Amino acid sequence: MDKDSFLHYLPYSEEDEKMGMLCTTAGSVTVRPGTIYPPQKNDHPAIFRSVVEGRTLPEFQMIYITEGEGIFSCGGNTYQVKPGNIMLVLPGYRHMYKPVLETGWHEYWVGFKGAYFSRLLEEGRFSKETVFFETGLHDLILSFFNQIIDEVRNQRPLYQLKTCAHILSLIAEMLTRERRKGQPNFYEKIVANAKYYMESNVYGAINLPAIADQLGISTSRLNEIFKTYTSMTPYQYYIQLKIHKTESLLEQEDISVKEAAYRMGFEDQYYFSRLFKNKTGVSPSDWKKFISG
């Protein structure tokens, strides 16, 4: 194992577990050509050692390959691993991976568990059908792994909380790149222009046909592109804009809830109040009281 390599398996307390997110292990290792994998096998707990023969873990792991080549098998599928690929190990699913003996590889990994991550699997954010990501080599992804390793290495106060924040950022970046990988480049421009038109008319009523016409596409196509790119419809995005603007209006002492609703284009104050509470969890009047102290 390279002298610059690092690995650590973390103990954690009941208090840590209550947070719903835990980092269990993190590391980085250079596996040189001709090296039996995993190097320094006995440095790993027994449950982790049989990665070449096949193993099942009680946690999630993400493994990012930045050099070399190898293979990854999971769920009956085998993938050819190259630089820029991420392997996602799901708890309870048998898998194996290893570098090609002639090339070796460099890997970064992080293990994590907890109720929050389990919900991502239950809700379909993670899937047994999607465990291999051709993300590419990116400084941002590498920086997340390095920040995780730094926190694990130094274990400063609240390092578990900070580490899990980096894990969430890593997951978000990985899933975002995967979602947009198959999308044409013009999607981004269409969504950006649609957002501009909505923000420019935040005090009025949304007119999707007019926005679509300005963009040179149909209304149904605008809805499809916008939702694919942002996970929400243009209407949902527009309502969120209105709610955020209303929050700012209500900070002004001389603005009543009724006046704020009118300025934001809502003729029915009671409909507006129900919408505001649905999006923020509090009524407009309670929000105003909270802001004014």
Q: Please provide the CATH number assigned to the domain covering 6-181.
A: 2.60.120.280
Q: Which of 255, 240, 264 is nearest to 287 (CA)?
A: 255
**Quick check: 64 pLDDT over 70?**
yes
> To which CATH superfamily is domain 186-288 assigned?
Homeodomain-like (1.10.10.60)
CA distance 71 to 54: 12
pLDDT in the model for residue 185? 72
Hey, where are the domains in the chain?
6-181, 186-288
pLDDT of residue 26: 97
Per the listing, tokens 């507006």 go with: 272
Mean pLDDT calculated for residue range 7-22: 86
More confident: 164 or 1: 164
What average pLDDT does range 158-179 have in this prediction? 91
- Whether pLDDT at 63 is above 90: yes
Please state, for a pLDDT cut of 90, what percent of the chain lies above it. 54
Instruction: Let me know: does 90 contact 126? Beta carbons within 8 Å.
Output: yes
- pLDDT higher for 255 or 87? 87
Q: Do domains 6-181 and 186-288 have the same CATH topology?
A: no
Q: What is the pLDDT of residue 143?
A: 93
- 2 has pLDDT over 70: no
Is residue 70 within 8 A of residue 105, CB to CB? The reply is yes
DSSP string, the chain: --TT-EEEE----HHHHHTS-EEEEEEEEEE-TT--SSTTGGGS-HHHHTTTT-B--SSEEEEEEEEE-EEEEETTEEEEE-TTEEEEEPTT--EEEEE-TTT-EEEEEEEEESHHHHHHHHTTSSBTTB-EEE----HHHHHHHHHHHHHHHH--TTHHHHHHHHHHHHHHHHHHHHHHHTS-THHHHHHHHHHHHHHHTTTS---HHHHHHHHTS-HHHHHHHHHHHHSS-HHHHHHHHHHHHHHHHHTSTT--HHHHHHHTT-S-HHHHHHHHHHHHSS-HHHHHHHHH-
Place of tokens 């193993």: 55
Indicate whether 172 pLDDT > 50.
Answer: yes
- Indicate yes or no: pTM above 0.75: no
The mean pLDDT value for 147-171 works out to: 93
Average pLDDT value over all residues in the chain: 90
Q: pLDDT tens digit string along 91-145?
A: 999 999 999 999 999 999 999 999 999 999 998 888 888 999 999 899 899 999 9
